[in-house]
Structure 1
Amino acid sequence: MTKDADKMICCIYKEYLQRRKLGNSIAESSLFSSEYFKNDPVLSKWHPDDCTEIARELKKMGFLDIWVSGKFILTSEAITYMENRFKNGIVELTDFISKLIP
């Protein structure tokens, strides 16, 4: 996984956790609109073409399912990977993301 893909999956997973904390269902929390990259505080700074390329990388890894419309789903494989990686949840994840931002 590239460093950019790592940063992207962390940002997406953080949003997923925030949605779950608000009481949204797993299905609702894992569905992202085509506008997500424009609205994310970290990823909105990236070139749109880079977001597309990195999302494709995550799709090849089985972490995202991407629709033609641009919507995408965070897969259960990605959620499992991230749960095992950040056992302390959103606090540990937020700290990790903040260290990635230059």
Structure 2
Amino acid sequence: MTEIKLTKETDVMLVLMYKEYLNKRNSGSSIRSSRHFGGCTDIQSRVCPNASIEKIDFACQELIRNSLVDGLNGDGVFQTGFLTDDAIIYMESRFSNNLDNVLQFLSKAAGLLVSFI
């Protein structure tokens, strides 16, 4: 895997998406359904309610360019997608597949979270 470079806001959204993925897995959801996030409006309602659709779409496009999300665009916006294997591997190595580590990161990134949650 090549070095991943993300803007801070996109990085926070990826961590929030990974947190949601871990919550789904811990609740017994399948890997396939846990990785799926729908489109911008779904991500907004489930992952980052205070973020604008424009901000979520921009972050999703950045994640697609970095092969961390795969999905479809339509009507000029991200319509549906899922975390890729590369995203899961990157996040597992970054946070040791541990929800507490994810929450610790998010508490340190509180300033950026204001616009996402």
Per the normalisation by structure 1, the TM-score is 0.89
Tell me what 2:89 maps to: 80
Residue type of the alignment partner of 1:98: S
Report the count of equivalent residues: 101
Query: For the structure 1 residues 26 and 12, does the alpha-carbon distance in structure 2 shift closer, same or farther, using more than 3 Å as the test?
Result: same
- Secondary structure of 1:44's counterpart equals coil
2:45 maps to: 39
Equivalence for 1:61:
66
5+ residue gaps, structure 1, are none
Which secondary structure state, in structure 2, belongs to the residue aligned with residue 67 of structure 1? strand
Deviation at 1:36, TM superposition (A): 2.6
Question: Which position in structure 2 is the counterpart of 1:10?
Answer: 15
In 1, distance between residues paired with 2:22 and 2:62? 22
Runs of 5+ consecutive residues of structure 2 not aligned to the other structure:
1-5, 112-117
TM-score normalized by the length of structure 2: 0.79
